[in-house]
Amino acid sequence: MYRTSKKIILSAVYSLSALIFIILSVLLTPLTLSNNANIYIFIITAILFLAVIFCANKALKYLLNFAQKHTIESGETRLLNEFIDRLRFSYSRDDFVNTVSDVLEKKGDCSVIVIDREKNYVLYNSPSRISTSESVHRTIDLNYPATWEDGFYFFDKNIGVISKSSHARGFFLCYQKNHVFVFCKYTRLFDTDVYDRLYEEYKRFISRTRTIGTLSEISDTTKEWEQLAITQQSFLPQRIPSIPKLKIATYYRPLVNVSGDYYSILPIDKSRTLLMLGDVSGKGLPAALIMGLVMNTVQIIEDKNDLVSVIHSVDKAIKGMHLQDKYTVLFLGIVDTDRMTIRYINASMSDPIILSPSPNGYRIKPLTSNASLVGILDMGDVSVAEKRLFRGDVILMATDGVSEVMDENGVELGDTDIYKKTLQMGAAKEPQKMVDDIVDLIMKYNGDKKLHDDVTMMIAKVGY
Residues 6+ apart with CB under 8 A from 152: 171, 172, 173, 174, 195, 198, 199
Asked if residue 416 has pLDDT above 70, the reply is: yes
pLDDT given at position 388: 96
**What does the pLDDT average to over 302-323?**
90
What's the confidence (pLDDT) of residue 377? 87
pLDDT(257) > 80: no
Q: With cut-offs at 50, 70 and 90, classify the pLDDT of residue 427.
A: very high
Q: Which CATH class is domain 77-212?
A: alpha beta
Q: Is the pLDDT of residue 185 over 60?
A: yes
Which among 180, 178, 179, 181 is positioned nearest to 170, based on CA atoms? 181
Mean pLDDT along residues 26-31: 59
| Range from 296-300, 329-333, 417-421 carrying the lowest mean pLDDT | 296-300
| Per-residue confidence (pLDDT) for residue 36, from 0 to 100 | 55
Q: Contact at 8 Å (CB) between 395 and 352?
A: yes
Collapsed DSSP state (helix, strand, coil) of residue 21: helix
DSSP state of 217: H
Distances in Å between the Cα of 136 and the Cα atoms of 128, 151, 295, 315, 380 are 12, 21, 40, 41, 49
Least confident of 113-117, 251-255, 412-416, 451-455: 451-455
The pLDDT tens digits for 114-160 are 999 988 899 999 999 999 999 999 999 999 999 999 999 999 999 99
Specify the pLDDT at position 234.
76
Chain CA centroid to CA 134, Å: 41
Is the CB of residue 455 less than 8 Å from the CB of residue 445?
no
**Of 281, 266, 198, whose CA–CA distance to 235 is shortest?**
266
Question: Which amino acid would we find at residue 309?
Answer: S
By CB neighbour count within 10 A (0-12 exposed, 13-18 middle, 19+ buried), where does 288 fall?
buried
CA–CA gap between residue 202 and residue 140 (Å, rounded): 20
Q: Which residues pair with 342 in a beta bridge?
A: 335, 387
| Range with the poorest average pLDDT among 45-54, 65-74, 186-195, 413-422 | 65-74
Q: What is the mean pLDDT of the chain?
A: 84
Residue 111: the pLDDT is: 94
pLDDT for the residue numbered 30: 57
Query: What's the pLDDT tens digit per position in 263-307?
Result: 999 999 999 999 999 999 887 777 888 888 898 889 888 899 999
Prediction pTM value: 0.61
Q: If you write DSSP's letter for every residue of 58-106 in order, what string do you get?
A: HHHHHHHHHHHHTTTTSTTHHHHHHHHHHHTT--SHHHHHHHIIIIIIT
User: Mean of the pLDDT values across residues 406-410?
Assistant: 84
Domain ranges of the chain: 2-69, 77-212, 240-462
Q: Which residues pair with 457 in a beta bridge?
A: 251, 398
Q: Which residues pair with 365 in a beta bridge?
A: 354
DSSP-derived pairing of the beta strands 111-116 and 170-175: unpaired
How far CA 351 is from CA of 120, 355, 387, in Å, comes to 51, 12, 16
pLDDT digits (tens, 9 = 90+) for 50-86: 666 767 677 766 665 554 454 434 467 888 999 998 8
Please say whether the beta carbons of 315 and 262 come within 8 A.
no
Confidence of residue 310 (pLDDT cuts 50, 70, 90): very high
The answer to whether 77-212 and 240-462 have equal CATH topology is no
CB neighbourhood size of 133 (10 A): 14
CATH fold of 240-462, please? Phosphatase 2c; domain 1 (3.60.40)
C-beta atoms surrounding 360 within 10 Å: 6
- Using left for φ > 0, alpha for ψ between -120 and 50, and beta otherwise, residue 176 falls in left
Q: Residue 389 pLDDT > 60, yes or no? A: yes
Question: Does 8 score more than 60 pLDDT?
Answer: yes
- For residue 332, the cross-strand partners are 276, 345
**CB-based burial of residue 327 (10 Å sphere; 0-12 exposed, 13-18 middle, 19+ buried)?**
buried
Sheet holding 261-267: strands in order across?
261-267, 272-280, 328-336, 341-347, 385-388
Q: What percent of the chain has pLDDT over 70?
A: 81
